[in-house]
Every structure is written in C-alpha cells, then in structure tokens.
Amino acid sequence: MDWLEEKTEKLRVYIRNLSFRKAMVAYILVISAAVWGLSYLTMVFCWHWEIGIWERLGKTESLPLIVYQKGLLWSYQHDFLYTAEERSLLCLDFLRVWCPLIYAVPGMILAIFLFYRKRLARPLSILEDSVEKIRRNDLDFHVSYDSRDELGMLCDSVETMRLELLRDKEEMWRLMERQKELNAAFAHDLRTPLTVLRGYTDFLARYIPEGKISREKLQSTLGLMAEHLKRLEDYSRTMKGIRSIEEVPFSPEKTTFQSMGRKIEEVVFALNQVRDVKIIYTADLPHQGYLAGEMHPAGSGGSGVEQQSDSSIYIDDGLVMEVLENMLSNAIRYAGKQINVMSDYDADSREWILTVRDDGPGFSEEQLDKALRPYYKETEDGGPDDHFGIGLHICRELCKKHGGTLNVANSIRGGAVVTASFLAGAPAEP
C-alpha cells in the first residue's frame, strides 16, 4: 500500500511539473478518450434500441447487410415519418451518427476549464497578489508555487525580483541612515570646536582692554585659534567627501606625549573660559611625573605641563581630539561643578587612555545599556532637549577605527565616567 501511494505521489508530482504544452496535450488526449468512449457506448446503445424497434416492425432482414455496407454510422434516408416508431428511429439515428460531435464540443470546453482551474488559476492569483503588493511597496511577503512549469518559474522570477527590491530598499535605508548619522555627527562635532574658539575670543575680549596680555601671549593665542580654524576647515572638507562615519580617514602620525598634552590643555583652557563647570586635566604618562591643575594655553603664563621625556607615540591626533571633545561635550551637559580629564599610557597593551569624569548624577541603568547606541537620549525635564544622542556613538566608532574601545560607567564617588582607549603603538612599531 505504501508502495502504491509512493508511486501515485510521484506520478502526481510529474504531472504537476509538466510544461504547459505537454499538459495541454495530456488534457486533450484524456478528454478525447472520454469522448470516444462515450460516443462508442452511445452508438452501441442506440443501435440496440433501433434493432428492438425494427424487430417490433418485423423488418430486420436487411439490417446486417446495411451495417456491413455502410458501417455503424449509416443514416436513414426518410423524407417524412408517420408513426412514433419511425420518429424514434430517426432520433436514435441522429444521436448515433452525431454523438461524437455532440460530446466533443462540451469535452473541449471541459478540457479548457479544467486546464485553467488546475494549472493557471492559482499561479495567476499568486502573481496578481504579488504585483499588487509590490505596487504598494509592501515587500514583506513570499512568492511560492509548488510547480516547475512556466508559471512556476515565473513565480520564482517574481520572488527573485522581490528579494532584489528588498535588498535595494534595505541598502537605500542604510544609506539614508548613514547620511542622517553623518549629518548629525557633523552638526554635533562642530559644537565643541566652536565653543573652544568662543573661549579664546572671550579670553581676548576680557583681558586685551585691561592690557593684561602681552604681545607674545596675544600672538600665541591667535595662533591657537588659527589652528582650530584650520582643523574645522579640514573637518568640513573631510565630512563633505565621505558617506558614513566608517569612512572617516584614519592617519596616525608620530607625535609626543608633550604635544598631545598641550592640545588637551588648549581645549580645557578654552572651555573653562565659557563654562561655569571647572575642567581639570591630569596626566600620568611614562617619565612624566606632572600633575596639572587648571591649564592655560602655551605662552599665557599658566602652570602648563612640563615635559620630562621625549617619549613618542603613533596616533591620529585629530581623531583623538574629536573623541575628547565629544566626551567633554556630554560631560558638560550633566556635570555639577567639576570635570576631571585624565590621560594615561599602558605600555603593555600600547594603549593611550583618556578618561572624562564628571560630578553629575551619573548614568542610569538604561543609559549604561543604551548610551552607546546612535540617537539614544532620555527625556529630560525642563527646557528643550537639543542634543542629538549621537556623541558617545561617534566616540565609540572612532575609537574602534583607532584600534581601541569606549566604555561608560559610574564612579564610586558619584558621577559618570567615560573611558576611551586608542592603540598608540611604540616609536619602533607604528
């Protein structure tokens, strides 16, 4: 029994997978056989009925000769009939002669109907629904038809087209999201450099009228402002030519701890001129036993950082400063009175580490889990929230580009702690 069912199923699958041409020929042959069989049975039935009528009329002597000479499809040649028996003979004669044609016409109609119902109706309905969904830009469906005939292959082609359209749509969505992220990053990253320039401007506007800035200090400060303006120009030019944050160029160059410390001091000094929050920079680097309080720009008479070594590292200072400025921008929004910036170098892992700690409320549980996601920001009470929720995400991507990581945590003394690491290498191993 199982063998018979298996063979029947194989035959059914074979018939279902026949091409339209072969399937149409098969339907016509089956219907033709049915028409031929019905016609033969009808002719035999009519003939026996006619014999019965002729026997009742007593005129059966010549029937075998007539059938032998003219065949079973011979027809009577009567112009008129008088009795009921003769009219019955004429009707049986007409049915016996014309039954093949009578059966053939509905047989052809039945063949067409069955062929459409069995082979065309379902795939055409599937294709019609698929095209309508694609027209409505709804690609969340699947085109499937369990046959290998022409319409089955057409359904497969439509499914392939749907997948291609879906991939194109997803790629376009990714491009739009990247462009949105890039635009937000561009707008976000301009804030801190502009604030730094504003800090230098306020510094000059405050002390120049009082005559407290010497010519050398003025030239030094203007030089720092020119450097930041050039950095903004380079940044704008870079952002114009890329399509996503991942394409931000990474160009590590040999530099010194002293040079990086001075750049951090400049940013800290400028931000201290325009913010109520006090920013303190502390460095703990190889052979650099210094501790700097509130920093001042080079040449301004402040304490500064006194370099004790020529230790060098390979680092992309523009990328690192962008990360630092983003970290400071986020810390300033939440800090109460003070922000600590700390730098360190781990010789074993060859990582340069920047840590920004504030004395604000710290991260909530949800923020610790989602703070590094793009466009994440918690609803805050009070005035309008105009930040993009992308700063820490940008920092993480840039740290990854530099071979490092970004981590967020809460300090045991209260406040948030954000730590960025950068693979800095060694002088002999760029």
Tell me the per-residue pLDDT of 20-33, one tens digit each, with 9 for 90 and over.
888 888 889 999 99
**Average pLDDT in the chain:** 78
- Cα 90 to Cα 46: distance, rounded to the nearest angstrom: 11
Tokens matching residue 349? 């892992």
**What count of residues does the chain have?**
430
Instruction: Decide if pLDDT at 47 tops 60.
Output: yes
CA 111, chain centre distance (Å): 47
Q: Is 405 exposed, middle or buried (CB count within 10 Å of its CB: 0-12, 13-18, 19+)? A: middle
| Cβ–Cβ < 8 Å for 333, 387 | yes
Q: Higher-confidence residue: 301 or 97? A: 97
- Cα 259 to Cα 325: distance, rounded to the nearest angstrom: 17
Query: How many helices (H) and strands (E) in the chain?
Result: 11, 7
CA-nearest of 321, 326, 331, 294 to 393 is 326
Beta-bridge partners for 423: 351
The pairing of strands 338-346 and 351-358 is antiparallel
Q: Is 209 exposed, middle or buried (CB count within 10 Å of its CB: 0-12, 13-18, 19+)? A: exposed
CA-nearest of 427, 370, 430, 376 to 403 is 430
User: What phi, psi does 327 have (nearest 5°)?
Assistant: -65, -45
- Cα 66 to Cα 403: distance, rounded to the nearest angstrom: 106
pLDDT of residue 389: 62
The pLDDT of 344-348, averaged and rounded, is 86
Beta-bridge partners for 144: none
Q: Higher-confidence residue: 52 or 417? A: 417
Most confident of 122-131, 245-254, 323-332: 122-131
pLDDT of residue 19: 86
**Residue 259 pLDDT level (bands cut at 50, 70, 90):** confident
pLDDT of residue 158: 92
pLDDT 10s digits, 210-233: 777 788 888 888 887 887 787 777
Instruction: Decide if pLDDT at 409 tops 70.
Output: yes
List own/partner pairs for 86-94 with CB under 8 A and 24 or more apart.
Answer: 88/49, 88/53, 89/50, 89/53, 89/54, 92/46, 92/49, 92/50, 92/53, 93/46, 93/50
pLDDT 10s digits, 149-202: 888 889 999 999 999 999 988 888 877 777 776 666 666 666 667 777 888 788
pLDDT of residue 70: 58
CA-nearest of 266, 268, 312, 262 to 286 is 312
Tokens 């200090």 sit on residue: 217
pLDDT 10s digits, 287-342: 443 333 333 443 333 334 443 344 678 888 888 888 888 888 888 888 888 999 99
| Cβ–Cβ < 8 Å for 388, 188 | yes
Instruction: Decide if pLDDT at 72 tops 70.
Output: no
Contacts of 294 (CB under 8 A, 6+ apart): 268, 269, 272, 278, 279, 280, 302
Instruction: Decide if pLDDT at 117 tops 80.
Output: yes
**Residue 377 pLDDT level (bands cut at 50, 70, 90):** low
pLDDT of residue 219: 83
pLDDT of residue 149: 84
Contacts of 357 (CB under 8 A, 6+ apart): 331, 339, 340, 342, 411, 415, 416, 417, 418
417: helix, strand or coil? strand
